[in-house]
Structure 1
Amino acid sequence: METLQKIAVVIPSFKVKGQILDVISKIGPEVNRIYVVDDCCPQETGKYVSEHCTDLRVTILHNPVNLGVGGAVMNGYAAAIQDGMDIIVKVDGDGQMDPRLIKQFVAPIIDGEADYTKGNRFFDLEEIHAMPKMRLFGNAVLSFMTKLSSGYWDLFDPTNGFTAIHRDVAKHLPFHKISNRYFFETDILFRLNTLRAVVIDIPMDAKYGEEESNLKISKIVGEFLAKHLRNLSKRIFYNYYLRNMSLASIELPLGVLMLAAGTVFGVSHWISSMDSGVPTPAGTVMLSALPIILGTQFILAFIGHDVAAVPHRPFHLKVQFKNHGRDQCKD
């Protein structure tokens, strides 16, 4: 396995003028290139870095309009791919992520164990007390929603933006379709699952300074719910009906149909019984309960299959093997 990988760091920058230089200074020598993406920052962070930073690895990219964290990262990915970088790490510029952990994030990719690594602040139970309680609750809810929509049941902390990705995986992402703003971290997981990429968590500590997060859980929960449902439906269609068919492809619609039929039948007879004052017969209750029970079992069986179907073979190794085969054919 080749270990001399060119590593790039992408730092989306918006209102982080006070922390950005400290973040850059902590990036170790294992990194070959640093892309600071000024996302039309009102503080002119890009200009500030170019004037005060002497690190020769730094390249400043400017977005003419504010694209959000997703749009900024995608621009950084594109620049890194064009410059021939092998692994691209995304680090926020607000100082909440420790750049000294970059080696831990890229190691599984270099070793061929993963295509994409993602920080997890919930791994150490002794450390999560540092996270605000409302943020902790919001992340738990968003994490469950992400598991459903992305298919990565073994991941947590979906809004964590400390990530690393292999170039061959990033090149296959539909940049123009990935959400530009706060849904970016979650949406990219859905896109990675459509590629059957391997994603793993990297333990890290929760770190919060005096800076205030721009992400307000109460304001985005409705938007996130709608987008999660959209991605869930797409993923199920892609994985269980378009690309492949299995027993799970039958279990899900059958389970939903039986659960819905039993519920409608039971509720209608319950309302009728309430209006007439006549108790519902035991046989009618059983006719309602049986499809509900069976439907629930079918749905749980589908979920069990979905949990077991988490990708385990890195996508970038498939690409390299395929390209190597083509090269041999040419020779």
Structure 2
Amino acid sequence: MIIQKSTQPRIGSFDPESYSFGDHFIDHMIVCEYQDGKWGEVKLMPYGPLSFSPANMAFNYGQACFEGMKAYKDKDGEVYLFRPEKNFERINKSAARLAMPEIPKEVFIDGLKALVDVDRAWIPYGEGKSLYIRPLIFATEEALKARVSHKYMFAIVASPAKSYYTAPVSVKISDYYSRAASGGVGFAKAAGNYAASFYPTKLANQEGYEQVIWTDDTTHENFEESGTMNVFVRIGDTIYTPKTSEKILDGVTRDSFINLAKRRGIEVVIGDVKVKDVVDAYRNETLKEVWGVGTAVVTSVFEAIGYKDEKLILPKLEFEDSYALTLQRDLVAIQTNQAEDPFGWRVKVERHVLEGA
């Protein structure tokens, strides 16, 4: 690994009590380039702009994917990653679907640990706080040709994070727009998936909703995801969540919630979640909770669901009665080293010579 530490670190000007999600970046980044059929050496370097031509093939043909993950600091100042192997596996699954070269494990994992180690001072400690980490792969060849690129870049950048949503949100069930289609790239964290979601979300915003519940592209009868999150529904004392497929992202937080629920003895049903069943449960007062989960948000509890021209107001549960909030607490306790980790999810970032940049 080539290491170039910043000579003008900005950590001294960062206020850990006053910042918003995703708009401050740590002092360093990881960069690794691919050409001539192989990945080069990993570089840890000062964070800053990179120079690209407008003819960059990523801009023109959309070969770009990314991951979202976090590092956490405990009360003793030790730093932990959460299930990084899952993110490594998923970014390569995304890359393969977009005809991009897969990242070697040592490039991804070693680069990730080195970056978090050198900038551990940027990781805020406290409730809801973490370091949001964004590994990404994108084409870099300069060519206006509709084909796969011959050059790529892998990079990792990171930003101090706090709670994404601080209050329950309202969501609108989509009965026209879809997030993904069969045979498409819905299971991948392709950059274009997010661009395509912005317009329908904007329309929902105009109706007073913060997010969209995406439904299937053929019948619009089944829940798929919500916004950029996997979705969970609680009817009675049972949790329902859509099964992953080529249209639904295999979320790390989703998988963690399922395992934590089963550990508590809560029944989890993975399969089709029909809009009709959810609405019927609302009408007969057995619908208890609906929520979304994801790395950035952890848990977003829904207070209302827009269905056609109706707004279904969900019950307001006390913390101890809410499966969503109970499972969130269980997850965060593991992530922040406040509880035992029976699953082996927590990965400590050891202190090395990189510390103190």
- Answer whether TM exceeds 0.5 for this pair: no
Larger strand fraction of residues: 2
Higher Rg of the two aligned structures: 1
Taking structure 1 as the reference length, what is the TM-score of the superposition?
Answer: 0.29
Taking structure 2 as the reference length, what is the TM-score of the superposition?
Answer: 0.27
Larger helix fraction of residues: 1
